[in-house]
Amino acid sequence: MAAEILPQPQARKPCLLSKIEAFQDVVSTAVIIPKEDGVISVSEDRTIRVWLKRDSGQYWPSVYHTMTTSCSCMSFNPETRRLSLGTDTGSIQEFILSEDYNKMTPASTYQAHQGRVSVVLFVLEMEWLLSTGQDKNFNWHCSESGQQLGTYRTAAWVSGLQYPLITLLFVVLICPLPGLTLNNPDSLS
């Protein structure tokens, strides 16, 4: 029996596509806008900027917004153009970006935590806004009504959060976590 020699897989290396050099302060987080030549950035200087690539090949801010407090985290949903920003003071502020990404309109504000928000995540399928903070709470709010749906106290503050729709729904419904408090259990059905 002859051995078949397989070609070595080519190592893929990341390559720099573009660079935005107009920042004055540390960028806390940034996200690429899908299907657009654009980036949304949040900086420690309290600014949110929506950068769009112009005909010259350079990125220029189409939106420049200054917050009253520093933003600690961000979540962007490209389908709804909803931008959710966690702040150092514990609030979460939501904005809706226009279709051309040239305008940012305030939508909602949630007082979610007693300290810095460490992670914020909008789940379109459930219309939930999930968040964790340095107060060691995991909270979820209804993004339609603004009402807090529940909270869970963690042993330490959480620095990451991902929401796999089927898996987490199964855990919450079938295997409730000890100490889990639901303000409105009917909101899960």
Give the whole-angstrom CA distance, residue 153 versus residue 180.
8
Token duo for residue 64: 């420049």
Tell me whether residue 11 is in a domain. Answer: no
Q: How confident is the model at residue 44 (pLDDT cuts 50, 70, 90)?
A: confident
Q: Which tens digit of pLDDT belongs to each residue from 10-41?
A: 777 888 777 887 777 888 889 999 888 899 99
Q: Does position 5 have pLDDT exceeding 70, yes or no?
A: no
Tell me whether residue 94 is in a domain. Answer: yes
CATH code: domain of residue 112: 2.130.10.10
Out of 17-21, 92-96, 175-179, least confident range: 175-179
Q: Which tens digit of pLDDT belongs to each residue from 114-172?
A: 999 999 999 898 899 999 999 999 999 999 999 999 999 888 878 777 776 555 543 33
Tell me whether residue 16 is in a domain. Answer: no
Q: Does position 182 have pLDDT exceeding 60, yes or no?
A: no
Q: How confident is the model at residue 85 (pLDDT cuts 50, 70, 90)?
A: very high
Number of other CB atoms surrounding residue 138 within 10 Å: 20
Tell me whether residue 15 is in a domain. Answer: no
Domain count, the chain: 1
Query: Given this model, what pLDDT does residue 32 score?
Result: 92
Tell me whether residue 155 is in a domain. Answer: yes
Higher pLDDT, 1 or 69: 69
Tell me whether residue 4 is in a domain. Answer: no
Higher pLDDT, 101 or 185: 101
Four-point Cα dihedral 14, 17, 21, 24, nearest 10: -50
| Distance from the Cα of residue 115 to its chain's centroid | 18
Range of the domain at 105: 27-188
Mean pLDDT of 58-87: 93
Query: Given this model, what pLDDT does residue 167 score?
Result: 55
Residue 136 burial (C-beta neighbours within 10 Å; 0-12, 13-18, 19+): middle
